[in-house]
Structure 1
């Protein structure tokens, strides 16, 4: 069985897919995906996202504000109140993205620090987005004791040195469909070096559909294609890869594990 550790079900353009949300989830079930983590990118949109997936026992949720979606200042009190809700299994996604919006570095850093503080306060893991901000991401994680909360660097595309620094802080590394892209040679080399017991798989749906679905709207069912690519690079069977990454997910997101057991 597989887990999609990071998707955005509320951002699926279902009309483009020609599917209902229930059909999307059925597609995932048919490909042996037993659980999904629907990740928040906006505090304003979080309540609607949580309500959308509430009927589905196989879906957990996070709460946070993506660095490219935040306002000038993250409302830390609102973040803490929403993230404290029992259905929230993680804080984020948060982090730093200097590729798309370098002019907002300071406000991004402020928001990231606030998310780290809330995650430590609530003892819930962090979901971290990082792009073109290697040094600042790791420095803020160290300075503000992000390791106390733990978490994952999602949709990882950076170098081995950054991955190793995150692993040393107790974090996991999650790999998306980017790994299957022809020009992702460096990323595949990084994955080859990383310990299997610290890796997760994700779709980041509706974005970044893996080969052979590239160019289509991504959906959680395609996480098995990410898994197949990772298994090939790690020289393990697909069954071993599925078992270990699923175990890793539940070890990190303990509230998702509890929800699964209660279902």
Structure 2
């Protein structure tokens, strides 16, 4: 059994066939997923999908790319939704220095407010980080994110950066890029992540693994991520599936 810890079934790319996508995932053994909502459009859809499916959960947050559109009422909305029975984390939140849509100081402000909210409601957080690793780690340290922990989504840092995240009580989640031939650094990280802190994800419809790179990703493809990591770690695929599923249930506080 597999747990895709980060998927966007609420994305427009799945508008026409989301139920078929979920069925294909189940047929591949992907029994549990977390659908991530990150703006006014995707948050209600994440909740809706989670409510319709017993083993699908939601995470809600405000994406750094959209930080420029953030208003105080959004934080109130996130706080209210944090009490929803199917919401298991806050996020994705963080910093994105690749897309020049929101000023860095605005991103930081929205990031810090969400960490503070997560501490108030005692929920794990899901971190989006693109080309901003040192600043992300610095902010997490300053805001005492260690108290709640969470997930470094689609981790792309090096071993030293991984260790800094582990020290703050974070799990390391790997996705499609670990299957790319030129992704040497993330493959090295995959080999040494403490097994009790390893998670897997697709980030579907984005970042499809090899051999689907460049095409629409979907949660069924998390099997390819698991296979690659099992090979890199020289362990049985079934064992990796079991351990990463148990890790996901632990960080999200899911008992079934």
Q: TM-score, normalised by structure 1?
A: 0.92
Match of 1:58 in 2: 55
Residue 85 (structure 1) shift: 2.3
Unaligned runs of 5+ in 2: none
Any idea what SS the aligned residue of 1:115 has? helix
The aligned counterpart of 1:165 is 164
Please name the residue that 1:229 is paired with: 228
Backbone CA RMSD of aligned residues: 1.6
Per-residue Cα deviation, 1:60-89 (whole angstroms, up to 9, x for no partner): 001101111233545322321222323211
Partner of 2:99: 100
1:3 aligns with 2:19: no
Cα gap change, 1:103 to 1:216, in 2 (>3 Å) = closer
Within 2, Cα distance between the matches of 1:117 and 1:85?
Answer: 19
Corresponding residue of 1:193: 192
In structure 1, runs of 5+ residues without a counterpart are none
Deviations along 1:100-137, one digit per CA (max 9) or x if unpaired, are 23861101111111111111111110000112112111
Determine helix, strand or coil for the equivalent of 1:127.
strand
Say if 1:232 and 1:226 are closer, same or farther in 2 by CA, change over 3 A: same
The aligned residue for residue 14 of structure 1 is 14
Which 4+ residue blocks in structure 1 deviate beyond 4 angstroms? none
TM superposition shift of 1:156: 0.6
Q: Which residue pairs with 1:68 in the alignment?
A: 65
TM-score if structure 2 supplies the norm length?
A: 0.94
Q: CA deviation at 1:143?
A: 0.8
Tell me how far apart the structure 2 counterparts of residues 44 and 25 of structure 1 sit (CA, whole Å).
Answer: 20
CA distance in 2, matches of 1:77, 1:85: 13
CA spacing shift, 1:14–1:91, aligned 2, 3 Å? closer
1 CA distance for matches of 2:94 and 2:79? 16
The answer for the alignment partner of 2:20 in structure 1 is 23
